[in-house]
């Protein structure tokens, strides 16, 4: 069994929410709902694109390769922006405007997907805009969250609440978007996403106050963390967290689509799995607020890695349904545990410096695993072998819970 058996009933409560924290939760809610609409269907959109150039003779491998190239463009431009645009955000733009820029970049990426019907290579341009969006949006958001959302203690409850908000927003997205695709196509789906994204920055501008930020020596920050032998496990854990996530984001939707061959069935199972798992999130937050129960996370990580191995053999509808349900229930514990732990580590290691290092390391690691995935496809091997790589990456985040990192 994945979960520790509690000795007494666990009381759940929301952390006291200040005005500024409320702004972050509202922005996160709106953005999450908007992003969940195209969400899992972007890989399917690229995979089935009518104007897709033929690089590989195998049609399936060729479609997946273009998805990998799209995400590679995303990762490369994320790293570029993290290195060269960080001080532009901290010194010139400011966090609130940066979050707005991040949402605008996301909207431009969506627009590129719309017009890629005429010019396919706009798909790769969309990836570059999404990479820029990650830089402009997430570093300011995470710094704001660490500084303004904590209600005392660790970040277990705050993280659980944030992820609960995002899950509530995104849980209905897959089935709604599947129905839109079925009856109206991808263009309407992308247009609806653009409209909702336009609203996401409003709570930040209305409710958050911003102070001045200092200049950062980006290369110096990266070197100070990377060369510190005491932080090797930290680096491995952060790299594993990001690489497992991107491999899952690419290859699980494609496997679902190839097995089910029906976007409505895809949307329905993901919505069902998401709703089923939502109610575990606050309890998970209470678990990770208490450092003595970190063992729960270890079990959750091992289950996550095992599920990647099982995916290699998934061939029937029932099989993928069961995997998705178990994965999303188990994933609530791993995601709450990981994210709260990252916020704790950020708070203890110089918030902005830590988050800058995390972003550069995460996307650099993604470039490496995406190149390995492309190599598997180009070599003619079974593309499902990528799940072996995902399983290996999924185990690495357990290093983040090494007690030595707290010193």
Termini Cα distance of the chain: 31
Return the pLDDT at 362. Answer: 93
- Report residue 365 as tokens: 């690691």
Return the pLDDT at 280. Answer: 64
Q: How much is the pTM?
A: 0.86
Q: For residue 407, give every residue at least 6 positions away whose Cβ sits within 8 Å of its Cβ, in sequence order, or none.
A: none
8 Å CB contact between 177 and 36? yes
8 Å CB contact between 182 and 264? yes
Return the pLDDT at 289. Answer: 56
Q: For residue 65, give every residue at least 6 positions away whose Cβ sits within 8 Å of its Cβ, in sequence order, or none.
A: 55, 56, 374, 377, 378
Higher pLDDT, 405 or 100: 100
Calculate what percentage of the chain has a pLDDT beyond 90: 39
pLDDT band at 4 (very low <50, low <70, confident <90, very high): very low
**Average pLDDT of the residues of the chain:** 84
Return the pLDDT at 308. Answer: 95
List for the chain the helix, strand, coil content (%; round to 5). Answer: 80, 0, 20
Contacts 24+ apart (CB under 8 A), 92-97: 93/136, 94/210, 94/213, 95/140, 95/143, 95/144, 95/208, 95/210, 95/213, 96/140, 96/201, 96/204, 96/205, 96/208, 96/210
Higher pLDDT, 63 or 171: 63
Return the pLDDT at 9. Answer: 33
Higher pLDDT, 120 or 201: 120
Among 72-76, 183-187, 284-288, 355-359, name the most confident range.
72-76
Average pLDDT of span 340-369: 88
Higher pLDDT, 331 or 135: 135
Return the pLDDT at 270. Answer: 87
Of 47, 35, 59, the closest CA to residue 254 belongs to 47
pLDDT band at 42 (very low <50, low <70, confident <90, very high): very high
Task: Classify domain 19-207+216-406 at the CATH class level.
Answer: mainly alpha
Return the pLDDT at 286. Answer: 59
Higher pLDDT, 217 or 399: 399
> What is the C-alpha separation between 359 and 361, in angstroms, rounded?
6
Average pLDDT of span 275-290: 63
3-state secondary structure of 85: coil
pLDDT band at 142 (very low <50, low <70, confident <90, very high): confident
> What is the C-alpha separation between 55 and 49, in angstroms, rounded?
14
pLDDT band at 47 (very low <50, low <70, confident <90, very high): very high
pLDDT band at 257 (very low <50, low <70, confident <90, very high): very high
Q: Among the listed ranges 18-32, 116-130, 153-167, 280-294, which one has the minimum average pLDDT value?
A: 280-294
Query: In the chain, what are the domain boundaries?
Result: 19-207+216-406
What totals of helices (H) and strands (E) does the chain contain, helices first?
Answer: 18, 0
Return the pLDDT at 169. Answer: 82
Side-chain-side CA neighbours of 359 within 13 Å: the count stands at 33
């Amino acid at each position: 069994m994945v979960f520790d058996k509690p000795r007494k009933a666990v009381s759940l409560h929301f952390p006291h929410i200040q005005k500024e924290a409320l702004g972050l939760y509202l922005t996160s809610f709106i953005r999450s709902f908007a992003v969940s609409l195209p969400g899992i269907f972007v890989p399917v959109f690229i995979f089935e694109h009518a104007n897709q150039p033929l690089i590989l003779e195998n049609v399936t491998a060729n479609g997946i390769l273009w998805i990998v190239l799209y995400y590679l463009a995303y990762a490369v431009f994320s790293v570029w922006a993290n290195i060269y645009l960080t001080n532009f955000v901290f010194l010139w733009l400011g966090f609130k405007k940066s979050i707005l820029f991040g949402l605008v970049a996301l909207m431009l990426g969506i627009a590129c997907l719309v017009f890629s019907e005429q010019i396919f290579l706009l798909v790769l341009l969309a990836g570059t805009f999404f990479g820029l969006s990650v830089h402009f949006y997430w570093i300011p958001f995470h710094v704001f969250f660490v500084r303004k959302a904590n209600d005392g203690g660790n970040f277990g409850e705050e993280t659980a609440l944030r992820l609960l908000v995002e899950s509530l927003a995104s849980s209905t997205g897959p089935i709604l978007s599947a129905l839109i695709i079925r009856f109206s196509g991808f263009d309407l789906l992308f247009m609806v996403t653009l409209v909702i994204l336009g609203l996401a920055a409003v709570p930040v501008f209305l409710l958050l106050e911003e102070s001045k930020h200092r200049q950062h020596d980006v290369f110096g920050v990266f070197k100070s963390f990377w060369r510190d032998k005491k932080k090797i496990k930290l680096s491995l854990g952060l790299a594993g967290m990001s690489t497992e996530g991107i491999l899952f984001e690419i290859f699980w939707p494609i496997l679902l689509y190839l097995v089910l061959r029906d976007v409505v069935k895809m949307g329905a199972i993901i919505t069902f799995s998401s709703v089923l798992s939502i109610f575990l999130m606050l309890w998970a937050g209470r678990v990770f607020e208490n450092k003595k129960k970190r063992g729960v996370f270890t079990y959750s990580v091992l289950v996550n890695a095992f599920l990647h191995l099982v995916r290699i053999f998934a061939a029937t509808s029932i099989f993928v349904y069961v995997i998705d349900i178990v994965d999303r229930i188990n994933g609530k514990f791993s995601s709450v545990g990981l994210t709260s732990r990252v916020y704790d580590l950020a708070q203890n290691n110089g918030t902005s410096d830590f988050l800058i290092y995390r972003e550069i390391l995460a996307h650099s690691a993604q470039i490496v695993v995406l190149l390995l995935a492309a190599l598997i496809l180009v070599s003619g091997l079974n593309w499902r072998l990528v799940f072996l790589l995902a399983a290996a990456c999924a185990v690495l985040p357990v290093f983040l819970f090494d007690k030595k990192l707290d010193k």
